[in-house]
Amino acid sequence: MTTDTPYHPGERAAQARAGRLDRADHSGRAVGSTVPAVAARFLTERRMLVVGAADADGRLWATQLSGAPGFLRAADERTLTVAARPSGDDPLAGALAGPAEVGTVALDPAARRRMRLNGRSVPDGRGGLVITADQVYANCPKYIQRRSPVDRPEAGAPRRVAGGPALSTAQQLMASTADTFFVATAGPDGRVDASHRGGNPGFLRVLGPDRLRWPDYAGNSMFMTLGNLELDPRAGLLIPDWETGGALLVTGEARTDWSDPAGAGLPGAERVIDLTVTDVLELADATPLTWTDPEYSPANPRSAG
């Protein structure tokens, strides 16, 4: 990243490979380091925040934090406060108990809105986080399934129900029927990014207990996820269970297949990403929310039969 561009060399390489340098330069004008007033209001109304970071072993994970409206606040134009932290069973509990590079996504599925804020997190001493922003930007509404949150008063604390080096049969089914997941990646300076991925159920393919594949659809041409993967294969996925409040967390190493045949059988794929799974954690009560049935995005490519 230089004063002339918000992008690092991996992102520029991915943009060039896709033939989207000019489009990326246009999109890059929206990347700032401060939280505009409209974004501050958006954050205050949110019920969930996706957070990506590396654990003590350097593995990348993505997880989710939840709260009542107001649990996220822009304390000033460079600072996001979060009145929540991961529970003890969460793989990022230890990492976020101290200073950490984080990537975040605040999502409003009901209005198909999202914004990303990446920066450095420290604990606030009261069970929450304070994040100093380095990058702040909004994304388009494409591929977001419309759904609304429903409080679940009987929810307990997040707790581990299963884990291991590969996906169980039930976990494979959960992944293969997902319509949304989030992916955390890291740049060459260790800065973390978290991004949303959506599509019709089946767009995330399970190729085996230790391998996942997903299509890369047309987007804003920033290629921040793929740009990170050009230089660092580490990746972490969060697959929410919108019906129960549970979540499936997966970490591993990913690579992008840019070849023309790679997207065969994946409608809308401009390229594909393959993830080799190295660790899996399934959480119950990952959030005290469930969500209404989805209204699928009209931008979703139709799934192959």
Model confidence at 1, pLDDT cuts 50, 70, 90, reads low
Say how far apart CA 85 and CA 88 lie, in whole Å.
9
Whole-number average pLDDT of the chain: 95
With vertex at residue 29, the alpha carbon angle to CA 27 and CA 32, rounded to the nearest 5 degrees, is: 115
Looking at the chain, the whole-number percentage of residues with pLDDT higher than 90 is 93
- Between these two residues, 261 and 18, which has the higher pLDDT value? 18
Model confidence at 192, pLDDT cuts 50, 70, 90, reads very high
| DSSP code for 68 | S
User: H or E stretch including 192?
Assistant: strand 192-198
Q: pLDDT tens, 247-298?
A: 999 999 999 999 988 888 899 999 999 999 999 999 999 999 999 999 999 9
Model confidence at 4, pLDDT cuts 50, 70, 90, reads confident
pLDDT value for 246 = 97
Say how far apart CA 80 and CA 73 lie, in whole Å.
6
Is beta strand 247-257 parallel, antiparallel or unpaired with respect to 234-240?
antiparallel
Asked whether 235 and 185 are in contact (CB, 8 A), the reply is: yes
- Which of 38-67 are b and which e, b meaning 16 or more Cβ less than 10 Å from the residue's Cβ? ebbebbeebbbbbbbbbbeeebbbbbbbbb
Strand partners, 133: 119
Q: pLDDT tens, 90-114?
A: 999 999 999 999 999 999 999 999 9
pLDDT value for 264 = 84
The pLDDT of 60-72, averaged and rounded, is 97
Question: For 9-291, which CATH class?
Answer: mainly beta
Residue at 78: amino acid letter = R
User: H or E stretch including 262?
Assistant: none
pLDDT value for 170 = 97
The pLDDT of 162-191, averaged and rounded, is 97
Say how far apart CA 218 and CA 204 lie, in whole Å.
16
Torsion region of 172: left, alpha or beta (phi above 0 gives left; psi -120 to 50 gives alpha): alpha
pLDDT value for 305 = 46
Domain regions of the chain by residue span:
9-291
| DSSP code for 91 | T
Q: Which of 262, 39, 243, 288 is nearest to 145 (CA)?
A: 243
pLDDT value for 59 = 98
The pLDDT of 54-60, averaged and rounded, is 97
Within 8 A by CB and 6+ apart from 28, the residues are: 5, 6, 7, 222
Within 8 A by CB and 6+ apart from 304, the residues are: 202, 265, 266, 267
The pLDDT of 200-218, averaged and rounded, is 97
